[in-house]
Structure 1
Amino acid sequence: MDRRAFLTAATAGLLVSSPALPAAATSRTLKTDPFTLGVASGDPSTDGFVLWTRLAADPLGGDGRGGMPSRDVEVAWQVAADERFRGIVRSGTATARARDAHSVHVELKGLEPGREYFYRFKSEGRLSPAGRTRTTPVGETPLHFAVAACAHYEHGFYTAYRRLAEQEPQLVVFLGDYMYEYGPSGYTALAGRVRTHTPGKCRTLADYRLRHAQYKSDPDLQAAHAVAPWLVAFDDHEVENNWAGHVSSTGAPGFEQRRAQAFRAYYENMPLRRASLQGAVLRVNRRVSWGTLARFHLLDTRQFRDDQACLDGVRAGCDDRLDDRRTLLGAGQWRWLERGLDASTARWNLLGQQIMVAQRDFRTGPGREVNLDSWDGYAAERTRLLTALGRTANPVVLTGDAHMHHLAELKTDFDDPDSPVVARELVASSIASDGDGYRDRTWISEALQENPHFSYIDQRRGYLMGRLTRDELSVDFRTLDYISRRGAPAKTSHRLTVPAAQDRSAAAQAAPPA
């Protein structure tokens, strides 16, 4: 079976000829298939990964429970070395608890490094689709990975997820806005409405569970999850637009409870490790290594930040954003990041985070307008970040949020043309947010002229596809011309190749003093 055939068969749940799964999962009391939300894997290590599914006989059941009974349900799982499950290497059972929306998180250990594996589940006499995942290598093995963000369900079809899956990356990095909390037509001014959200704005645990189930029901998203392990981190819309720390952007009462419920639903629907959910806190800042070749440093740019300065938005003349005391990462996460960057021995260091790091002037001509929700609103801490990246071997920043492809050179002083480049920032456009997108060449030309550290901007939907070796990082900026109807092809609209520095000392010599 070739890879394209596996992708099609796995999504359709056709890989069924194999040894029987444990008897604990063979009783049949549900009248419909409980695997309507697909399967996923994530956070790979050298000897394992997380396997995920969530049982939902009726994904859009109005109470957020997915049409499941109030009892716990046993689920069997298998991991195999081949896509037809002839060589089973691990199997077992897990309990899908009603209190956890019948989600399952299986954390595997003891597998071989740098290996491809296949997995599936069985429950209530039904077999899930199969997924493909892998453990990370121990040496400098090349990596083929994708970067994606921002998938507003109402704004269009998820064709970009399907095209991403067809390219068969070994790893997918998702950088926030996996789902949107708005009610029907709550944010459609730019894109119109192609599909319709479940009723109501997300405020309760049931609301968030229901919205996740609606998104997870999409077959193109399921295909992208089934093709490779994911590294996921949230941005704002998984909770509420432009929230900051303990502060609601709308000032609505009860925000901390709402945030905790959103976090719980997010964990229930993502391939995250159990340790990530710590009461009302959801820890998504973590490090994942791809052998000695690369280390991913994933950040949380929402949960620990100070409130945005000057009432948020794109504004001019906000001196508060320059305050040295303002933090985006929080003191604890900042120490974790700085120590991790300084201690890293990886050939490449990839910073996965949600909001644009590069300075971005939105005003054409004299004066400056910046987005205070981005790193521009926390300028002093950004300088500290860029200084730390300047001491780091081969740093690259991966970013979401902007709904447009951007390619930027990062400098400690963006207003000084002679300031050294300490890293490059690769901003992925959206999977669906803002609809079809467009190519306004006049606007792009003016934006590039106003921001000379940018070399590429594209307003169409898409994702990034990277190929990383010891010597270079090659990135394709993939775009689709439309998502308001199905079937758009994806093409490479821009390509970047970043050569590796010779060694860590070269990066340190190029960095400005701390």
Structure 2
Amino acid sequence: MEITRRTVLSGGAAAGALTVLAAPGSAAGTPATRPLARSASPRVSPFELGVASGDPLPDSVVLWTRLAVDPTAEDGLGGMARRPYAVRWEIARDPQMRRVVERGVVEARAESGYAVHVEPRGLQAGREYWYRFRVGGHLSPVGRTMTAPARHEMPAVLAMSFASCSQYEHGYFTAYRRLAQDQPDLVLHLGDYQYEYTKQSYLSPTGNVRDHDGPETVDLASYRQRHAQYKSDPDLQLAHATAPWLVVWDDHEVDNNWADDVPENSDAAQWNDTTARFVRRRAQAFQAYYENMPLRRASVPRGADMKIYRRLHWGRLATFHMMDTRHYRDDQACGDGWTIDCDERLDETRSLPGMAQERWLLDGFERSRARWDVLGQQVFFAEQDALAGPSYRTSMDGWDGYVPSRRRITQGWVDAGVRNPVVLTGDVHKHWANDLRLDYQDTDSPVVGSELVCSSITSTGNGSPTWQSPNMALNPHLRFSADQRGYVRTAITKEKMSVDYRSLPSVTTTDAAAYTQASFELHDGQRGLQRTR
């Protein structure tokens, strides 16, 4: 059965004070008569990158924008004149912005890429808000956002969609538009929000329909430029302006298949040829990522380190454990790809999320009282063996390359009595629905959780409507696979989680409709996916 739009939540007035990140200095005045850009008409809008919100709490949500009049300027500063700008913001109870509950002023500066992060406080739990920004005489688009329910509340339903892998060259971002048209309460993005490659170096099987601007992203200017090119897309802007997002990165926000201090190819180019140079590259990628995402101050980078694993509670209905499976992992065993019989993947000392993050996750399981515990993470979790017989051929970049780490986490939610564990995954550019077990070789072993894997927004092009993985026959816990671009839409209640795999027949055209390729349900207290369509 397909999911329908939930009844819009209603609530009373929002009240209380808000916290602003910075106060403007006297140099920040921006009368409409002063040009915003180095060479531009005063009428050019500085809001070419749209607006966004994220990380909702019961009394707060992050509001974001980044000023740019020439988004793909080579210096990464969006064509803005090198001076501070006073950015006024306001948040209201209505989309017409007539019932403003709070407003303030924050400063946008060149050293932060002219990005603005505002963390309002004192909002009412579990209700819709609308927000916008102003610079001089210029108004931004109006964005819709939502606060999380109070921790003690059990909301009737959460409409949550998740997505990953949007390679700009491989297609148009129509799937983001279709996701936005569903009007979700919350969007999870599980990584590969942007890709680092120079134009035409990563070719889609169905042909690249547009080009990346600039070089391969290796420094702050080029990462800022690439983020700005993606953010200029109107379909992505619409998805950001529709609901708050929870974001985590995967690999392409920095470098393909990177692992902690190790790049994909250590001798490929000057920026990866030593650990020190790669760590410097990573630091600049992290800085640009923070500047371009609606993240809280707790995620501000500290040099080459940035903490993005975190927890969000949606009342008593769901807890989202947002993971980082790149920054703390041991290097991939036996190379980065699919490998036969790699003994190193069985090493008990190796971890994919890192031992500290494993302990954080297990502690979260122990403390959780949520109806649903959801892991928002990046790489394939269930075992996927591509060989019949006693040998294994598995991917070293996913959890199959870190078998004890996966077992510790799975055993952790079993031991903690987690009521309904669900793993969300991106990365692989295919839709999958998987049952999770402690012992994948024993087909009679109990199912202990479920994995939902979203396809890509565009990466690898159109795909095939009839494809099904041959590995499903070798892995009976893999219940569904499909190869078209799209996203996953869910409706979460205390009784069940309804799941629609949304697919598009084409991303090389701009007007494709989305359709539901398969639907599943997860029922409270019952393990295993039930297919309904």
Partner amino acid, structure 2, of 1:403: H
Rounded Cα–Cα distance in structure 1 between residues aligned with 2:31 and 2:99: 21
Provide, for residues 296-320 of structure 1, a one-character-per-residue CA deviation record: whole Å limited to 9, x for no partner: 0000000000000011111112111
- Show the counterpart of 1:58: 70
Query: Which consecutive unaligned segments of at least 5 residues does structure 2 have?
Result: 6-23, 267-271, 529-533
Give distance in 1, aligned partners of 2:388 and 2:406.
23
The residue that corresponds to 2:295 in the other structure is 272
Map of 2:54 onto structure 1: 42
CA distance in 2 between counterparts of 1:265 and 1:274 reads 14
- Map 1:87-126 to 2 at 5 A: 87-126=99-138
User: 1:397-476 maps to which residues of 2 (within 5 A)?
Assistant: 397-441=423-467, 443-444=468-469, 446-476=470-500
How do 1:135-146 residues align onto structure 2 when only pairs under 5 Å count? Answer: 135-138=147-150, 139-141=153-155, 142-146=157-161
Paired residues, number: 482
Distance, in Å, in 2 between the alignment partners of 1:461 and 1:312 is 24
Please report how far the alpha carbon of residue 53 of structure 1 lies from its aligned counterpart in structure 2 after TM superposition: 0.2
Q: Compute the TM-score of the two structures, normalised by the length of structure 2.
A: 0.88
Letter in structure 1 aligned against 2:386: F
Report the aligned-residue RMSD: 1.7
Question: What are the ranges of 5 or more consecutive residues in structure 1 without an aligned counterpart?
Answer: 4-21, 508-514
1:482 aligns with 2:506: yes
Contact 1:24 1:93 in 2 (8 A): no
- Deviation per residue, 1:142-168 (Å, 9 max, x gap): 100101000000000000000000000
**Contact 1:25-1:76 within 8 A present in 2 as well:** no
Partner of 2:284 in structure 1? Answer: 261
Give the deviation of 1:440 after TM superposition: 4.3
Q: Which amino acid aligns with 2:483?
A: Q
Distance (whole Å) between structure 1 residues aligned to residue 173 and residue 386 of structure 2: 29
Structure 1 residues 258 and 191: CA distance shift in structure 2, 3 A: farther
User: What pairs with 1:215-364 in structure 2 (closer than 5 Å)?
Assistant: 215-251=230-266, 252-253=272-273, 254-279=277-302, 280-363=304-387
CA contact (8 A) 1:146 1:173 kept: yes
Q: Aligned pair in 2 of structure 1 residues 143, 282: CA closer, same or farther (>3 Å)? A: same
Change (3 A) 1:383 1:129: same
Q: Are the equivalent residues in 2 in contact too, given 1:53–1:104 (CA < 8 A)? A: yes
Partner residue of 1:8? none
**1:272 positional shift:** 0.3
Partner residue of 1:18? Answer: none
Contact conserved, 1:156 with 1:194, CA < 8 A, in 2? yes
Residue 177 of structure 1 aligns with an amino acid whose one-letter code is D
The change in CA–CA distance for 1:364 and 1:460 in structure 2 (over 3 A counts) is farther
Question: Which residue does the alignment assign to 1:16?
Answer: none
Q: 2:183 aligns with which of 168, 179, 192?
A: 168
Matches within 5 A, 1:191-230: 191-230=206-245
1:447-497 CA-partner distances (Å, limit 9, x unpaired): 211111011100100100000000000010000010011100000110011
Aligned partner (choices 20, 27, 38) of residue 32 of structure 2: 27
Judge which range, 364-373 or 404-413, deviates more: 364-373
Structure 1 runs (4+) deviating above 6 angstroms are: none
Q: How far apart are the structure 2 equivalents of 1:410 and 1:439? A: 26
**For 2:89 and 2:227, how far apart are their aligned partners in 1?**
23
Closer, same or farther: CA 365–478 of 1 in aligned 2, 3 Å: farther
CA contact (8 A) 2:204 2:461 kept: no
Kindly provide the amino acid, as one letter, of the partner of residue 333 in structure 1: Q
Identity %: 50
Work out whether residues 314 and 371 of structure 1, in 8 Å CA contact, stay in contact via their aligned partners in 2.
Answer: yes
2:251·2:257 contact (CA, 8 Å) conserved in 1?
A: yes
Say if 1:260 and 1:191 are closer, same or farther in 2 by CA, change over 3 A.
Answer: farther
Counterpart Cα distance in 1 of 2:189 and 2:411: 25
Q: How far apart are residue 330 of structure 1 and its match?
A: 1.1
Equivalent-residue separation in structure 2 for 1:268 and 1:435 (angstroms): 28
Q: Which moved more, 1:350-359 or 1:27-36?
A: 27-36
Please give the per-residue CA displacement for 1:338-374, whole angstroms capped at 9, x wherever unaligned.
1011111111100000001001123467743111000
